[in-house]
Amino acid sequence: MNVLRRHPDYARLFAAQIVALSGTGLMTVALGLLAFEIAGPAAGAVLGLTYTIKMVAYVGLSPIAQAWVARMPRKTVLISADLVRAGTALCLPFVDQVWQICVLIFVLQAASATFTPAYQATLPDVLPDERDYTRALSLSRLAYDMENLSSPAIAGLLLTVMSFDWLFGFTALGFVASALLVRWAHLPKPDPSAAQRPFRERLTRGVRLYLATPRLRGLWALTLTGAAGGAFVLVNTVVLVRAEYGAGESALALAMAAFGAGSMAVALALPSLLDHVPDRPVMLMAGVGFALFTLLSGLWLWLVGLPPVWAGLALMALAGALYSAVLTPSGRLLKRSSHSDDRPALFAAQFALSHACWLVTYPLAGWAGGALGLGPALVLLGALGLVSALAAGRLWDPRTEEAQDHAHPDLPPDHPHLQSEHGGGHRHRIVVDDLHHHLPR
């Protein structure tokens, strides 16, 4: 895309994301094989535990990590987190106990909980133009989908010529390459004022700003909508394909490829659409559509039965398209809702709060699929998604998107924020910050 040619620093950061994602994908395959080697038939329980540790680390540690590293240069934070991940990956081939896997996974995911929000908060500073930033968000969505499709295939090819232990080495190489690419990129220096705040304020600031912003409260509800439908796809598609259709492993790969293809198609189309249509109607329509799609698919599966294979693949592609339309534009809302110095805290809050949604929907999808059946599980998750999508429409008041008249009676008349205005009131689009603690009601 043109954004990569025009912005070489972003191109380096995007390349860093790709190689790090590729390494993570290889590690996912290797971790499953390592768990089976250590725990045998109990490998599923071990992997479930590691994924729970991952989510707990993401939800609990992301705001803490961001507050802790706020005084450090962002490039140092990114490189350090990558090197910690590389070192941890190199330790995994040498473990022989389940508790050792758990400790190393916690360390690795703590580093990821530091790296990812800092990386996401850096992109708006590297790409200040909203059109360029929107295209970067689409590329990021494509990178995630391509990793989901390509990593298992690459791992399968490598496993034909080497043992799975070597996959951890390639994972470490991916993180080292990411660190080098970040090192070669020129990153704008953020405003140092955020680092001067007390630790307690830095710890809670992101969540406070997030929950005080109507569009972000709506985003959180929409994230739950996406997680409700997405959790069923990630947790129960294997059961649907293998047990219900009686198909083989290649059919599972084909089903996930259909979901990824739908997601990528929408990610490519969204930048042009968002050039002409505001985020709110696109995301809300996609959220309601995804929830209704999940609900109606569950009713069909429950009351009628399995659709034909070709229809099932088409439905997976549609699910991927709606899922992508709900969540891909979220970075635009975070950028629009923060100043540069607050951006790392706000992205860390989104990282933690969004994974809190998955921490709810992952076990719900697994329990409901096993206890109630796949059809009722889809209905339950679809109903949850629909309630949260409708709540998003109420929480995200469209009037808050416009410039608003407001006053600052607490500021002296000669305050810089009021110098260009006459009297005690003025009008502009409001971002919640130290001068605007909430939006006028």
pLDDT, tens only, 420-429: 544 445 655 6
- pTM given for the model: 0.83
CATH of 1-189, one of 3.40.50.720, 3.40.50.620, 1.20.1250.20, 3.10.180.10: 1.20.1250.20
Domain coordinates in residue numbering, the chain: 1-189, 204-396
Query: What's at 360, amino acid-wise?
Result: V
Residue 156 has pLDDT above 80, yes or no: no
Would you say the CATH fold of 204-396 matches that of 1-189?
Answer: yes
**257-294 as b/e: b if 16+ CB within 10 A:** bbbbbbbbebbbebbeebeeeebbebbbbbbbbbbebb
Residue 287 has pLDDT above 60, yes or no: yes
pLDDT band at 438 (very low <50, low <70, confident <90, very high): low
C-alpha span between 152 and 172 (Å, rounded): 17
The CATH superfamily label for domain 204-396 reads: MFS general substrate transporter like domains (1.20.1250.20)
Cβ-in-10-Å burial (0-12, 13-18, 19+) of 422 comes to: exposed
Percent above pLDDT 70 for the chain:
85
Nearest to 190 by CA among 246, 125, 284: 125
pLDDT reported for residue 423: 45
